[in-house]
Amino acid sequence: MFTIEHDFDATVITLIDEGPAPLNEDVVIESHEEGVTLTQVDPDTEEVMVINLSMHQLKELRAALDLPEGIYRVRQPGTKPEDDDA
């Protein structure tokens, strides 16, 4: 199950683990203009763990979910392979 909320400066998605135990803590994903923030409470320490992704990292993650094992680079539109070495 998940929820979606639209705040003034972000879209907030909460992923709620369901099913047989053991269940994981909820994951909160906030999408901002600058990137995406993922938060989850560590059940052992009760601390909130935070991961920040830039929009480029998010684009690479999205591409990686559909690719086989290997090393890849997502190119920006209009760049050529020789531009990667710069």
Do the domain assignments include residue 33? yes
Task: Output the CA angle 46-38-17, nearest 5 degrees.
Answer: 70
Structure tokens, 38:
């993922």
Tell me which residue range forms the domain holding 42.
2-67
Do the domain assignments include residue 84? no
- In angstroms, the CA 83 to CA 30 distance is 32
- 17's CB contacts (< 8 A; 6+ apart) are 23, 24, 25, 26
- pLDDT, tens digit, for every residue of 22-79? 899 999 999 999 999 999 999 999 999 999 999 999 989 988 888 888 888 877 777 7
Do the domain assignments include residue 21? yes
Do the domain assignments include residue 86? no
Q: What global pTM score does this model have?
A: 0.76
Number of folded domains that form the chain: 1
Do the domain assignments include residue 39? yes
